Structure 1
Amino acid sequence: MNFNFKIQALVHLVFIVHILNCAAFPDTVTSKERRFQSIGKEKVRIVFTGFYRYEQEKNEIAEILLKEGIVEDPNSNFELEVILQKKEPTYRYLFIHRLNFIITFLSGGFVPSHIRTEKTLTFRYSKLGLVEKESVYDIGMDQWRGIPVVIFMITHWPNKIYKEQLIEATKLEIKEI
């Protein structure tokens, strides 16, 4: 009984250390664009899709759009849809990624593990249901978890990095309007 308790305590400790010690390093925000007509700053209906867990980020994007001169009108025929989508991360060496995770777990978090996060932020402009312009921004970051990562946690917290990338993508989009 005592041995099982020690194993459970060790597993819980490894899990807590693995979750709490996390730092993220961002990729450069890149864009792909389809433009059919030029878009001016008109009255638009703004629709957010995929932000169900990111309410604060959604509000910041809306604030930036409104601050830059876009006028929101719920009855407008012109629509700006802001879409946040998760992409499956691609690992160059999947076997090494899985092995790294196992080694991190067995070492109690002393060997950091690597996790890749990728998303897209799309700005789709349409008038009466016809897409006039669409900009897709790739957002990605590499996250490291483990005890040695504590040093980087304060300045590279994943939520902070992710929010900065969404704001950067929105500002890049505003420049294109």
Structure 2
Amino acid sequence: MIFRLSQVIVSFLLLVSLNCAAFPDRVTLKNRNLKLSNEQKLKILFTGFYRYETEKEMILQEIIKQGIEEDTSSKITLEIILQKKDPKYQYPLLHRVQFLLTFLSGGIFPSHIRTEQTLTFRYSQSDRIIKENEYSVGMDQWRGIPIVIFMISHWPNKIFKDQLSETTKLEFSE
């Protein structure tokens, strides 16, 4: 009986410690070659979205809302590239100790994880790049029992989708 109760408590602590809340960064932009004709039909290719099918569809719908049509015979190709970047922590040793403390405490002490990606919109004609905009998106994720309060409104998947939507709107609002 005591063994079963301890299993339930440990399972609950591990489950709660795996929950997290995310807080987004401001989206930033780097661009090159700003001349592009006002083509409304583009051949659209997605790269790096193998685990993000719903996000890919959301971006495609956002592009269509902006008045861009997908045409596989278009001379201009829009390649949308999602790349994960390795996060850079100011104090890597402190990050590791904090993660270990969270695990050993069963989630009582929250841990911090940094997530960074780039979303690139590359317009090309044949082998020549006409225009390329690279947006940096990132978020700080906190995991642990005290974070349960923030999880409802700051779920990482929701934050990530919101950032991708904002980035797509920024790209086509020029």
**Structure 2 length normalisation: TM-score?**
0.92
Q: Which position in structure 1 is the counterpart of 2:67?
A: 69
Q: Which position in structure 2 is the counterpart of 1:141?
A: 139
Q: Which position in structure 2 is the counterpart of 1:175?
A: 173
Q: Is the 8 A contact 1:41 1:69 kept in 2?
A: no
SS at match of 2:166: helix
Counterparts of 1:65-144 in structure 2, within 5 Å, are 65-144=63-142
Q: CA deviation at 1:64?
A: 1.1
Q: Is the 8 A contact 1:80 1:125 kept in 2?
A: yes
Q: Which position in structure 1 is the counterpart of 2:41?
A: 43
Structure 1 alignment gaps of length 5 or more: none
Q: Give distance in 1, aligned partners of 2:37 and 2:114.
A: 34
**Structure 1 length normalisation: TM-score?**
0.90
Q: Give distance in 1, aligned partners of 2:7 and 2:103.
A: 13
Q: CA deviation at 1:116?
A: 0.4
SS at match of 2:157: helix
Q: CA deviation at 1:136?
A: 0.3
Q: Percent identity?
A: 56
Q: CA deviation at 1:8?
A: 7.1
| Residues 145 and 91 of structure 1, relative CA distance in 2, 3 Å threshold | same
Give the alignment's Cα RMSD to 1 decimal.
2.0
Number of equivalent positions: 174
Q: CA deviation at 1:101?
A: 0.4
